[in-house]
Structure 1
Amino acid sequence: MTREKSPDREKALKIWLKSGRLKKLSEIAAELGLNPSMVRRWKSVDKWDEIPITGRPRGAKRGNQNAKGNKGGKGGPEGNQKALKHGFFSKFMPQDPEFMEIREIVETMSPADMIWENVLSLYQRLIWGRRITHIKDKDDVTKVLTKKKPGMFGTEQEWEYQQAWDKYNSAIKAEATVMKELRSAIKQFIEIAPEKDERRLKLERMKLEIEKSKVAIEKLKKGDGSADDDLIEDWVKAVEADV
């Protein structure tokens, strides 16, 4: 079954044209409550930049009768998926509404959009990780129950104590791993994104901050730098200001 064209697709184009082709796609997406990647995809597929200044839609002139007398074909049966590029595989996919909604969004995304989403996801992991692994001070000790079983004189329990320096060391290693993946994703995006893509500038700034943080982490591993917890917290705030 052919998917109906989203009414927001036409709305997005009209908003862009009405702004004199100056309004940012991210702002259009926010106005319509859409994923910015979807609006960028529409602009690329529908070739908005090639629309004449007069705004006349493509196709034959009004009154053209080239198709007069053509009854057209019968079309495929209900449920036919021949028009889908990967229709053969789509019938084996889960038909869950949420899954299909995600699939529809993904189909509108370009490779650059997909990598951008990965960049955002990794960045979110970095921020969230800092919140989870935050250490108050050197006396911040975590007590974890590791074993609990019935005994002769009541319940037997075993506890594990995680010292501040152990938790900090684990946090640094985990953060370094995420930053390595983030740097790789940023590099991929910059390599394939259009020169005028508004997201490139944000990533260039983020890339510089990640490099600074990488150097700081290496110093901490070697014991050459300050173990102040605010070190990477400052980096997070700096990147947040640019994104």
Structure 2
Amino acid sequence: MPGSDTTITNTSGTAALAAVNLSSLDIETALLAVQTKRTELLETQLRDQIAAVQAKNEQIGKLNNVLSALNAMTQFYGTDTNAGFDHSKFDWNDGNATGKMNIDTFRSTYETTLNQAIRESGLTDMGWPGTGYPSIITWDKANNIDVKVSGTGAWSIDLKRNHIEAAVTKLKGQIDSLGNSQQMDTLRLQSLSAKRNEAFEQMTNWLKKMQDVRNNVIGNMR
């Protein structure tokens, strides 16, 4: 109100509304300012929530890529829990051995795919023991270029089937947890969207009402 030092913070139950100083505003302008601030705050919250949902979608996708690559890797192990990597499935001398996969093909198709998926997902610990045998994460046979990594966040040839299966179980748990959290985020997103639309509609209606009042005043003065 003119002559007062009134501040409104939390209009219509919306927390953290930026303060609106009403000391120099008439009542109509003051109410419109409050409603505009509420709409702006809800718009910001909605954008942040959309970004959070998108980020979790992307992370779930990355974890699923790791899971898919891990499942593909199990074919190169025996069926026993403690079975190691089955060297007999591969042609190690590039001799086109019948019924065996060339080791370079394995590295470029399976090993690289898995380790790059792990790296892109941001996972640094797959629950695997640190290994002394570094794993190839990129492979360019023509140029003889490779980048080697080692440790608990990279697949290497000396891991056993139980290591792979434990990582699969761990990943499924992470994906399920993210999925549950994402459902809550989606519900919050829907709620924020409805509130934003309601606030925008209220602001639009208030503007229209103010304009109608002014038009009536002007019409009565003629």
TM-score (norm 2): 0.31
Greater share of helix residues, 1 or 2?
Answer: 2
Higher relative contact order (CA 8 A, sep 6+): 2
TM-score (norm 1): 0.29
Larger radius of gyration: 2
